[in-house]
């Protein structure tokens, strides 16, 4: 028996969220007294794979093949299910990333396992296996018991800390069988903006709303984000108006995020917006209206005109960064 963690790579590299899921899975494995096995799919160097050993993995399975070069939900789900069977995995852990969310439900069906998605804390495992997950669009949490023998859980990025534990992992090739029926979807094109921090797993996010008046004023928002190493986000009306891409829209009908720091500029704080950002650890609000509802949900507030405040923040952020580096 084992705990299996799927270690997702982006272009051959592991992200911080990958080490979060490994640390999370390691804590489950330790509690259950089971070995932790990691599965990597696609082209990842042995040097990169070896990193998994620093977080509690004892064995890394490496699945490679022509049909596994690009992330493709169906073959990937099949490989994970095959590995889970080969390792007799009782708990399978994935990241609730875009690809993880597409894969986890399929793995659960293949293994006849119960699925808990969007998990935000370590399961309670004395007695029934109970996980804590987000529900009602950030307005509540649900405690869900998984009663099946095999369990699949997907963990929200940024909800568990990376914990190192001494050790090293042996890397072995995992032989897979990919059936033609898993390969009917073809990826024709992938576009990644490599210079930008990806929003769902960003630790710092600078977000702006209709208070910015127009797309031409986003230069200072991007400058602030770049200085801090933050991702950019926006409110719904901003992406609806085409000022910013839909992929930046956060909230109930956009992406739900839980960064360490969320800076909201010129956003009123409507309930639908808060739904997607209220689990941020610290919230800073800049708004010229002292009555803006967002101040009630904020840790720090600056009442003032964004066009005066943001340049001041950019300057301060630059000074802060150079003092940190120097």
Ligand X SMILES: Cc1cc2nc3c(=O)[nH]c(=O)nc-3n(C[C@H](O)[C@H](O)[C@H](O)COP(=O)(O)OP(=O)(O)OC[C@H]3O[C@@H](n4cnc5c(N)ncnc54)[C@H](O)[C@@H]3O)c2cc1C
Can you give the binding site for ligand X, defined by CB under 6 A?
A: 209-211, 235-238, 251-254, 266-268, 270, 272-273, 276, 287-289, 292, 305-307
Distance separating alpha carbons of residues 73 and 67, to the nearest angstrom: 11
Helix, strand, or coil here: 288? coil
The answer to whether residues 101 and 162 touch, using CB atoms and an 8 Å cutoff, is no
Please state the closest distance from residue 238 (CB atom) to another protein, in A: 12
Q: Whole-angstrom Cα distance, residue 62 to residue 47?
A: 12
Question: Of 286, 283, 284, 282, which Cα lies nearest the Cα of 310?
Answer: 286
Q: Which residues pair with 237 in a beta bridge?
A: none
Nearest CA to 294 out of 179, 186, 210 is that of 210
Binding to another protein by residue 278, rule CB under 8 A?
Answer: yes
Q: Which residues lie across from 233 on neighbouring strands? A: 207
Pairwise CA distance, residues 137 & 35, whole Å = 35
Residue 51 binds to another protein (criterion: CB under 8 A): no
> Whole-number minimum distance, CB 137 to ligand X, in Å?
8
CB of 22 or CB of 228, closer to another protein: 228
Identify the residue among 38, 94, 256, 257 touching another protein (CB under 8 A): 256
Q: Which of residues 220-239 bind another protein (CB under 8 A)?
A: 228, 239
Please tell me whether residue 208 adopts helix, strand or coil conformation: strand
Rule CB under 8 A: say whether 148 interacts with another protein: yes
Nearest CB to another protein, comparing residues 102 and 167? 102
Q: Interface residues for another protein in 27-46 (CB under 8 A)?
A: none
Q: Give me the least distance between CB of 24 and ligand X, in Å please.
A: 27
Q: Minimum distance from CB of 172 to another protein (Å)?
A: 26
Residue carrying the six token digits 């119960």: 114
Q: What, of ligand X, another protein, none, does residue 278 touch, CB below 5 to 8 Å by kind? A: another protein
By the rule CB under 8 A, 110 interacts with another protein = yes
């Amino acid at each position: 028996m084992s705990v299996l963690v799927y270690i997702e790579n982006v272009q051959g590299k592991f992200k911080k969220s990958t080490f979060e899921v490994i640390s999370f899975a390691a804590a489950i494995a330790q509690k259950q007294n089971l070995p932790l096995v990691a599965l990597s799919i696609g082209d990842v160097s042995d040097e990169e794979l070896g990193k998994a050993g620093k977080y509690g993995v004892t064995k890394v399975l490496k699945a490679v093949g022509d049909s596994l070069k690009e992330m493709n939900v169906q073959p990937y789900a099949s490989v994970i299910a095959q590995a889970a069977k080969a390792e007799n995995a009782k708990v399978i852990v994935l990241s609730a990333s875009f690809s993880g969310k597409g894969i986890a439900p399929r793995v659960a069906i293949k293994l006849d396992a119960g699925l808990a998605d969007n998990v935000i804390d370590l399961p309670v495992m004395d007695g029934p296996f109970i996980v804590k997950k987000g529900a009602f669009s950030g307005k509540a949490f649900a405690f869900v018991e998984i009663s099946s023998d095999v369990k699949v859980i997907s963990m929200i990025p940024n909800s568990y800390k990376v914990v190192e534990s001494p050790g090293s992992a042996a890397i072995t090739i995992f032989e897979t069988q990919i059936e033609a029926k898993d390969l009917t979807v073809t990826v024709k094109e992938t576009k990644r903006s490599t210079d930008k921090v990806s929003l769902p797993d960003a630790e710092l996010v600078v977000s702006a709303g209709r208070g910015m008046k127009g797309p031409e004023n986003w230069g200072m928002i991007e400058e602030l984000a770049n200085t801090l190493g933050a991702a950019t986000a926006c409110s719904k009306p901003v992406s609806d108006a085409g000022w910013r891409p839909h992929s930046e829209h956060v909230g109930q009908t956009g992406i739900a995020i839980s960064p360490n720091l969320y800076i909201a500029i010129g956003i009123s704080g409507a309930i639908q917006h808060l739904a997607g950002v209220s689990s941020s650890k610290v919230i800073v609000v800049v708004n010229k209206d002292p009555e803006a509802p967002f101040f009630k949900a904020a840790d720090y507030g600056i009442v003032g005109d964004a066009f005066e405040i943001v340049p001041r923040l950019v300057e301060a952020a630059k000074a802060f960064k150079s003092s940190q580096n120097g």
